[in-house]
A and B are shown apart, each in its own frame.
Chain A
Amino acid sequence: MEVLYMLVGFSLLVAVGFLMAFFWSVKNGQYDDKFTPAVRILLDDDGSKLINAEITITDV
């Protein structure tokens, strides 16, 4: 049964780690805007692709 002391202790330690991660994420403002990041991820980083394609056509 003695192994339980260690087991419970370590499991609590892990849980505290996740609690800290949660605290950090809240203070970091990750819950402030729950909408925009979901849209932003769908946008391409580089906006020049479409335009480049057009330019090559006119060059030809």
Chain B
Amino acid sequence: MPTLLQHSKIKCTHCGEECTSESIFLETGEKFCCSGCKVVFELLRDNNLCNYYAYDSNAGVSLLFKTGSKRFEYLDNPEISQKLIDYSDKETSTATFYIPDIHCTSCLWLLEKLYKLNEGIVHSQVNFLRKEVTITYNNKDVRYSTIVELLAKIGYEPEIKLSNLGGTIKSKRNHDLYLKLGLAGFAFGNSMMLSFPEYLSFGLSLDANLRWFFGILNIVLAIPVLVYSARDYFINSWYSIRERTMSIDVPVALGLTALFVRSAIDILTGIGSGFMDSFTGLVFFLLIGKLLQKKTIDSLTFDRDYKSYFPLSATIVRDGNEISLGISSITIGDTMIVRNAEIIPTDGILMSETAWIDYSFVNGESIPLEVQSGMQVFAGGRIQGAAVQIECTRECSQSYLTRLWNNEVFTKDKPSTLLEANNIFGKYFTIATLIIAVSAAIYWLVINPVTALNAFTSVLIIACPCALTLAAPFALGWALTMLGRSKFYLKNVSVVLDLAAIDTIVFDKTGTLTKAHNNSITYTGTILSFDEQRLIQTCLRNSNHPFSRIIASEMPQQDGLKVQEFKEYAGLGVEAKIENHSIMAGSHDFISRNCSSIPQIQISTTGVFLAIDGDYKGCYSVENSYREGLVELFSRLKSKYILYLLSGDNSRELSTLLPFFDDSHNMRFSQSPEDKLKFIKSLRAIGKNIAMIGDGLNDAGALQQSTVGIAVTERSGSFSPACDGVLSAESIVLLPEILKFAKSTKNVIVYAFILSLLYNAVGLGFAVTGMLTPIVAAIFMPVSSLSVIGFTTGMVIWNARKLKKISL
């Protein structure tokens, strides 16, 4: 097939990955990058499910890098499956699976057609944003593990992690708030209709019976709002009074009580028509603010710990048989088998001859480590290449990595800045309101006792900081949405305020400043001819060394040649005989020992040296590739913030990074996860507000300890440790704008506070003079609330314009 030698890219029919020489071609014209893709295609074709490819071309999930022969039987262990299944009766069971690979319309289509692939599946429904599929199946015909197997077979392997087993309560959706809001809105609308005749009659007195009828209906409408919709304000103020703090909920609850009680008295005694429309309207607006404030991002979780990173089970050899065992049941002395791309579940000693372990997620070391038989391996490392056997020396919960979570920072929640601000503000506000209300009452008691109660309640009503409580939720809620458009997702609204206070930024290197999966390859030496390249590529392809594979994949793709002899020397290199040429590739030592004339160039620790027929040719070196735009990013950050680097990697990149940080004292290398945590702690102790930007489990402690912990991620589905915000890697260059935007949002809140305090002052003028009539309240309260909402929303969106422009 000579046409294949062309460099035109042939895409896999199933997944769209570029096909290599190892690709498979069907007679019907379909091409596949690997046998996995072909199997999925044939399965779909045989079941008339080829429309999968009609919605999105090359929709499939590549199976090229997935590990084969996964075992799922352990999932049928009743203890485990019980925790994983949502609901089960005699005939059917329902289970929800988290599938990170859900990415397009075709995924949705296929996953909802699962019943065609297995008759035992009754129904499946996808929640696209949460990347979840809920499957109802006949539990007599199908087992839980069968479904997982089927999903894995078609490329949608569900993520079943240790944390699922921790008995965590399934996130209860926020139905309550919607119901409360609906009720308040219903009561507000109707109450306003009933109050209109009174307002619009302008002196023409309403029929007394009708007026009473409307009044009673108003009370009936307001009672459920008081006891259900507004319940949280009363409960929260009760708690805050008991804890001797005064949150902003206290004056709100006071105002609501005053409104309701006075309205009820007015209506029942026939003095007036009450303020029930203002009361229900107030609750309605407050709840809208609350809804904005509670906004969360469905597809992200911010509280992951190591448990969501580790697999659920491991393969153990016992009495010569391979069995799957839950991770927590692995005991010291067990022999585990860990395959390519799997994570080492516990610390142990390597039994196999040699292994390549990628620790980048654990300690930031970007280059896979070679481990020899008898050496220690640590939990969290990812095996590259052939499967290995490891003898367990520590239980999972005691391993080097997981011990980090015993640190006290993980046991307590970060204090919420918004809550603290609310508490301080609420205290002064409540005291001031009560003083004014009481003085007004005393004043009127002396002059005209009839007006005293009127004035007292009027002050409480008007001082109810409605506009004030709306300012922060609306400003912060919109800020969250705006940041989300630039692919920066925050855990909650309070983080915006924390961001505004940042003065120091600490960066991690591997995965944060460098790309996670992309290495750049440079070649130094004599120029290789086309044939030589082909020889070397063939040789490297056969090697298990991670670098060899990276280099082979980065070279122009060609057809492989026939390998006559091949020998791999552990830790040294490979030797191959191809088309009667002898090819050697490996470390500096290995090549220099076997051939002459190797120049004494700088001995790069990360190079692969090459020789053909005993002649030294050159060296490929693999380096981290840094993200684009870093130079500009750092030059803009430098003037405003103090910058630090904390890397788990060694200091070989110091010279490259020095221009970014200016001072080598601000750069720390070879930092353990604990070192990072301690360093952040020491900075905080001297009063710095720190944004830590990291990505791996090794940053978890530092992220938790910092003012704002930001995790950088390249794919939305990939694992990120517990943090306050998730930043998409492409948006890291937006950091200066993001921080500026946070500051401007804080200012908007301050202005909105001043505005609403002005409203309160004007309103108090009405109140203390005893002139607060229902119609004044009915106009004044919505106007003040709506104008504050409008102001904050408008300002935040205006400020975010810069943010949006750059991200587009």
A residues neighboring B (CB under 8 Å): 1, 4-5, 8, 12, 15-16, 18-19, 22-23, 26-27, 29, 31-33, 35-36, 39-40, 42-44, 47-51
Contact = CB atoms under 8 A, between A and B. Distances in A.
5 contacts: A19-B183, A23-B179, A36-B125, A36-B126, A47-B109
B210 A51 contact: no
Most buried by B among A1, A5, A16, A33: A33
A3 to B, nearest CB: 11
A48 B54 CA distance: 12
B556 interface: no
Interface in B540-560: none
Given A26-B175, A27-B175, A39-B105, A19 B182 contact: yes
Given A39-B105, A47-B113, A51-B48, A31 B127 contact: no
B186 A33 contact: no
Nearest to B130: A33
A45 to B, nearest CB: 10
A23 B185 CA distance: 13
Contacts of A51: 45, 48, 50-51
B113 A33 contact: no
Nearest to A28: B175
B182 A23 contact: yes
Contact of B173 (A32, A39, A40): A32
A7 B26 CA distance: 74
A35 B51 contact: no
**What is the predominant secondary structure among interface residues of chain B facing chain A?**
helix
A33 B210 CA distance: 45
A44 B189 CA distance: 41
Contacts of B130: 33
Nearest to A54: B50
Contact of A4 (B182, B190, B210): B210
B755 interface: no
Interface in B22-48: 45, 48
A48 to B, nearest CB: 5
B10 interface: no
Contacts of B112: 40, 43
Nearest to A27: B175
Interface string B205-222: 001001001100100000
A22 B108 CA distance: 28
B371 interface: no
Given A36-B127, A51-B48, A43 B179 contact: no
A9 B40 CA distance: 62
Nearest to B187: A19
A19 B108 contact: no
Contacts of A36: 108, 125-129
A43 B105 contact: yes
A31 B112 CA distance: 20
B186 A19 contact: yes
B48 A15 contact: no
B48 A26 contact: no
Given A4-B210, A19-B186, A36-B129, A50 B175 contact: no
B425 interface: no
B194 A8 contact: yes
Contact of B108 (A8, A16, A32, A39): A39
A12 B217 contact: yes
A1 B54 CA distance: 65
Nearest to B178: A26
Contacts of A5: 210, 213
Contacts of A42: 105
Contacts of B578: none
Interface of B: 45, 48-52, 54-55, 105, 108-109, 112-113, 125-130, 173, 175, 178-179, 182-183, 186, 189-190, 194, 207, 210, 213-214, 217
A44 B49 CA distance: 12
Contacts of A31: 175, 178
Nearest to B213: A5
Contacts of A35: 128-129
A43 B207 CA distance: 59
A19 B498 CA distance: 39
B757 to A, nearest CB: 36
Given A36-B108, A36-B127, A39-B128, A44 B182 contact: no
A48 B44 CA distance: 11
Nearest to A38: B128
Contacts of B175: 26-27, 31
Contacts of A1: 207, 210
A50 B112 CA distance: 18
Given A8-B194, A26-B179, A50-B50, 11 more contacts: A5-B213, A12-B190, A15-B189, A23-B182, A26-B175, A32-B127, A36-B126, A47-B52, A47-B109, A49-B51, A51-B50
Nearest to B51: A47
Nearest to B126: A36
Contacts of B189: 15
Contacts of A50: 50-51, 54
A38 B319 CA distance: 54
Which 6 pairs between the two chains have the least Cβ-Cβ distance? A47-B51, A36-B128, A33-B127, A19-B186, A48-B48, A26-B178
A3 B7 CA distance: 85
Contacts of A22: 182, 186
B219 to A, nearest CB: 13
B190 A43 contact: no
Given A8-B217, A33-B127, A36-B129, A43 B178 contact: no
A26 B128 contact: no
B51 A44 contact: yes
B48 to A, nearest CB: 5
Contacts of A48: 48
A56 to B, nearest CB: 14
A28 to B, nearest CB: 10
A47 to B, nearest CB: 4
A50 B51 CA distance: 7
Contact of B182 (A12, A26, A33): A26
A29 B51 CA distance: 29
Nearest to A22: B182
Given A12-B190, A26-B182, A40-B108, A47 B129 contact: no
B190 A15 contact: yes
A47 B50 contact: yes
Given A48-B48, A50-B54, A43 B109 contact: yes
A49 B45 CA distance: 13
Nearest to B45: A51
Contacts of B54: 50
A42 B118 CA distance: 24
A41 B129 CA distance: 16
Contacts of B190: 12, 15
Nearest to A5: B213
